[in-house]
Structure 1
Amino acid sequence: MEGKKVIITGVPGVGKTTVVNEALKKLQEQGIEYKSINFGSFMFEVARNDKIVENRDQMRTLDRAVQKRLQQRAAQAIAQVPGNVLIDTHASVKTPKGYLAGLPEWVLRELMPDIIVLVETDDDQILMRRLSDDTRSRDKEGARSIAEHQQFNRSIAAAYAMMTGCTIRMITNADFLLERSSTELAEVLR
């Protein structure tokens, strides 16, 4: 039986990893297995194995053509992973020059996801999570900017769905409601 390919995205600080980990625990208890892959980490491993970079910070300095080739090779390798696969990545990346597609056409063509899940919550909650997280170094931005990024992710996810024929699901990860959001994600992945 061929597995599902699910892409999960969300702006930094939305709590996507927490929701994913809880949902995967629930599924495992039911005997449903998913291979969870972080696209950026997978791409870094491809680059490191090819001796293009030695550390992850060097990834940002690579020529755009090299990055594109690495993205495509990583997507090709992920597409070959058997069974159910959950791909953790960004729908878009906010740069000083504007938003950059996190899933360009050459990546989507290889992955062909069954569903894209957008993890979202209130902009103020994300802002407070970012401000209280000392473990990460995030760009400083306000709730309005976070709202804009979440809206852009919705828009670009629609474009991704048009290209692949997949469905889109939005899951709210509100403060103190992790049980609800992780249960909802587990149901989507089932």
Structure 2
Amino acid sequence: MFDEAKNFGVKDRDELRRLPVEKQKELQKNTAEKISKLTDDVVFIDTHAFISTKEGFYPGLPNHVIQIIQPTHFIAISARPEEIYNRRMKDETRNRDKISIESIKKELAIQDSM
């Protein structure tokens, strides 16, 4: 999706997640259509369960995307809140929002309920 967004002038992943949800939906749809045309036997899609936006939480794989790509398997990978926090704090390549271990715990609880 980031590669698709670069065509619209998006410079980094943090700018991408700050786009209005409607623009993200459009980018997801375009990306899903490209993925659905791949002829490889195995395709991995690396995404998040949801993205935190100004408009609230938005799913990484919403229903309209799932209908287009028709995945056969899902693999969920998770980590401890402290590990996620430390990884984000050490990542100097990103322009992340301020977080706390408590906010990560809340996000993981939301993810677990999906």
TM-score, normalisation: structure 2: 0.77
Compared CA separation, residues 142 and 69, structure 1 to 2 (3 A): closer
Q: Structure 1 or 2: larger strand share?
A: 1
Compared CA separation, residues 67 and 118, structure 1 to 2 (3 A): same
Question: SS of 2:95's equivalent?
Answer: coil
Aligned 8 A contact 2:50 2:59 in 1: yes
For structure 1, the 5+ residue unaligned runs are 1-39, 157-190
Q: Which residue among 36, 51, 71 is the counterpart of 1:113?
A: 71
Which amino acid counterpart does residue 114 of structure 1 have in structure 2? T
Aligned 8 A contact 1:118 1:154 in 2: no
Question: SS of 1:43's equivalent?
Answer: helix
Q: Distance in 1 between matches of 2:36 and 2:27?
A: 14
Q: Distance in 2 between matches of 1:95 and 1:62?
A: 8
Aligned 8 A contact 2:21 2:55 in 1: no
Question: SS of 2:76's equivalent?
Answer: strand
Compared CA separation, residues 70 and 55, structure 1 to 2 (3 A): closer
Q: Distance in 2 between matches of 1:54 and 1:123?
A: 33
Matched, 1:94 2:52: yes
Structure 2 equivalent of residue 81 of structure 1: 38
Equivalent residues, number: 110
Structure 2 equivalent of residue 19 of structure 1: none
* Larger RCO (alpha carbons 8 Å, 6+ apart): 1
Aligned 8 A contact 1:76 1:111 in 2: yes
Compared CA separation, residues 68 and 122, structure 1 to 2 (3 A): closer
Q: Distance in 1 between matches of 2:95 and 2:32?
A: 27
Question: SS of 1:100's equivalent?
Answer: strand
Matched, 1:54 2:15: no
Structure 1 equivalent of residue 109 of structure 2: 151
TM superposition shift of 1:85? 0.5
TM-score, normalisation: structure 1: 0.50
Question: SS of 1:115's equivalent?
Answer: coil
Which amino acid counterpart does residue 103 of structure 1 have in structure 2? L
Aligned 8 A contact 1:93 1:102 in 2: yes
TM superposition shift of 1:62? 5.8
Matched, 1:43 2:4: yes
User: What do you get for the CA RMSD once the two structures are aligned?
Assistant: 2.4
Which amino acid counterpart does residue 91 of structure 2 have in structure 1? D
